[in-house]
């Protein structure tokens, strides 16, 4: 311990403050700070020892030396508490950093995420129908036999059931619950949930036991349409389909209806649109017909109205259903539908 010339103390207070300052610059956390504090201000510190030596000084010298010690102590305390604040701030920031739930996503222009092409097509189709005054409804993908078949005029063993290769679920009675084979059961649910007039579209996923090929996958998407009102005719159906077709595919694409059979509509039709690839002149995609089949439609069968207690003397209606994936395929000239389900990012990025 060096004796200070000027104060008569056994410690050089200026040097002590310098040493504390140097040591503090090396302190990395609060534990280290605490032990440094004990070392420089505690009972065994140079400062405390110096305090104890005051008693041996003359009163005047004692007062001066006491003042110097007091001032030194408070300078050291200030340095330590500044360091403590600094360290607490760092540790608080570290804690926040560790606890943070980062909900932001850093996206580069080239890698921006976007909705899947099928979802985008569905959104665009909904927009077209909403613009025509329809509302949008949804139903469950796991359906009962009654909604998927029976209420749609397909009683058990009806031959039309063979159009739909069905996935049954092991739930309840055998063959009672299934993955819906089309979106038509949502028509039934909509009619049960509200009285006519009804202008509704019902998009969603459907399932069939198909062997996947360029035009079929066992999971696919449809959009169903249902109108029930007074005095609805087949002309309303044909007009609605034509307006939708040119609104969605463009003014040079038209629709035509061809007689067909569906148990839930009478009369029924298949609807075709101008081939979007050759614009009707004939190409490989449309087998040189100039037209491509998109879906089915017809006037709601009285048996369907009976299933949901709607008086067919008062109300008439039409229904239609078609593939959303098929629309995406036609509009974006996608050669193989399977690519829609494969989640190959090289395809997804283009969409
Ligand atoms: N549900 C039929 C199918 O998936 C398509 C269909 C045909 C829907 C006629 C309808 C309709 O609403 O009226 O093959």
pLDDT digits (tens, 9 = 90+) for 140-183: 999 999 999 999 999 988 888 888 889 999 998 888 999 999 99
The alpha carbon of 346 and the centre of ligand 1 are apart by a number of angstroms equal to: 33
Q: Which atom of ligand 1 is nearest to the CA of 163?
A: 14
Identify the pLDDT of residue 210.
86
Q: Which residue matches tokens 């079929």?
A: 216
Which of 222, 226, 237, 262 gets mutated to test ligand 1 (max ligand atoms within 8 A of its CB)? 262
The alpha carbon of 326 and the centre of ligand 1 are apart by a number of angstroms equal to: 14
Question: Which residue's CA is the nearest one to ligand 1's atom 8?
Answer: 321
Which of 161, 162, 182 gets mutated to test ligand 1 (max ligand atoms within 8 A of its CB)? 182
Three-class SS of 162-211 = HHCCCCEECCCCCCCEEECCCCCHHHHHHHHHCCCCEEEEEEEEEECCCC
Per-residue pLDDT reduced to its tens digit, 271-330: 999 999 889 999 887 889 999 999 999 999 999 999 999 999 999 999 999 999 999 988
Identify the pLDDT of residue 11.
83
The alpha carbon of 249 and the centre of ligand 1 are apart by a number of angstroms equal to: 20
> Which residues, other chains included, contact 218 with Cβ-Cβ below 8 Å and sequence gap of 6+?
167, 207, 208, 209, 210, 212
Residue 185 or 29, more confident: 185
Token pair, residue 114, equals: 């976007």
The alpha carbon of 209 and the centre of ligand 1 are apart by a number of angstroms equal to: 17
Mean pLDDT on 245-274:
95
The alpha carbon of 270 and the centre of ligand 1 are apart by a number of angstroms equal to: 9
Bond from prior residue into 267 cis (ω within 30 degrees of 0):
yes
Q: Are strands 198-207 and 265-274 parallel, antiparallel or unpaired?
A: unpaired
Q: Are strands 135-136 and 198-207 parallel, antiparallel or unpaired?
A: parallel
Q: Is the pTM of this model over 0.85?
A: no
The alpha carbon of 113 and the centre of ligand 1 are apart by a number of angstroms equal to: 34
Is residue 109 very low, low, confident or very high in pLDDT (cuts 50, 70, 90)?
low
User: What residues does ligand 1 touch, defined as CB less than 6 Å away?
Assistant: 182, 184, 224, 262, 264-265, 268, 295-298, 319-321
The alpha carbon of 297 and the centre of ligand 1 are apart by a number of angstroms equal to: 6
Token pair, residue 56, equals: 């041996």
Per-residue pLDDT reduced to its tens digit, 50-74: 888 888 888 888 888 889 989 999 9
Identify the pLDDT of residue 1.
43
The alpha carbon of 320 and the centre of ligand 1 are apart by a number of angstroms equal to: 6
Bond from prior residue into 197 cis (ω within 30 degrees of 0):
yes
Question: Which residue's CA is the nearest one to ligand 1's atom 12?
Answer: 320
| Contact (CB, 8 A) for 45 and 11 | no
Q: How far apart are CA 333 and CA 153, in angstroms?
A: 36
Q: How far apart are CA 304 and CA 267, in angstroms?
A: 13
3-state helix, strand, coil in the chain (%, to 5): 45, 20, 35
Which of 191, 317, 320, 323 gets mutated to test ligand 1 (max ligand atoms within 8 A of its CB)? 320
| Contact (CB, 8 A) for 253 and 246 | yes
Identify the pLDDT of residue 277.
86
């Amino acid at each position: 311990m060096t004796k200070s010339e000027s104060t008569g103390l056994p410690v050089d207070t200026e040097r002590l403050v310098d040493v504390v300052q140097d040591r503090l610059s090396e302190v990395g956390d609060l534990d280290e700070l605490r032990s440094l504090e004990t070392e420089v201000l505690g009972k065994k510190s140079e400062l405390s020892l110096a305090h104890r030596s005051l008693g041996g000084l003359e009163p005047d010298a004692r007062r001066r030396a006491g003042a110097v010690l007091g001032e030194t102590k408070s300078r050291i305390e200030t340095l330590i508490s500044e360091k403590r604040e600094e360290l607490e701030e760092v540790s608080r920031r570290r804690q926040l950093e560790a606890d943070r739930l980062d909900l932001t996503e850093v996206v580069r222009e080239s890698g921006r995420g976007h909705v899947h092409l099928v979802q985008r097509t569905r959104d665009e189709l909904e927009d077209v129908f909403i613009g025509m005054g329809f509302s949008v409804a949804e139903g469950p993908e796991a359906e009962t036999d009654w909604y998927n078949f029976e209420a749609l005029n397909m009683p058990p063993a009806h031959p039309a059931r063979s159009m739909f290769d069905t996935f049954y679920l092991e739930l309840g009675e055998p063959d009672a619950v299934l993955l819906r084979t089309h979106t038509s059961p949502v028509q039934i649910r909509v009619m049960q949930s509200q009285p006519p007039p009804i202008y509704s579209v019902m998009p969603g996923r459907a399932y069939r036991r198909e062997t996947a090929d360029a035009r079929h996958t066992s999971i696919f998407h449809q959009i169903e349409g249902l109108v029930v009102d007074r005095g609805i005719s087949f002309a309303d159906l044909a007009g609605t389909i034509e307006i939708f077709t040119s609104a969605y595919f463009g003014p040079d694409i038209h629709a035509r209806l061809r007689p067909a059979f569906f148990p839930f509509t009478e009369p029924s039709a298949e609807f075709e649109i101008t081939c979007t690839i050759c614009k009707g002149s004939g190409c490989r995609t449309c087998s040189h017909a100039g037209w491509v089949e998109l879906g089915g439609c017809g006037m709601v069968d009285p048996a369907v109205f009976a299933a949901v207690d709607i008086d067919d003397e008062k109300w008439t209606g039409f229904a239609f259903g078609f593939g959303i994936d098929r629309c995406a395929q036609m509009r974006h000239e996608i050669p193989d539908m399977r690519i829609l389900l494969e989640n190959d990012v090289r395809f997804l990025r283009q969409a």
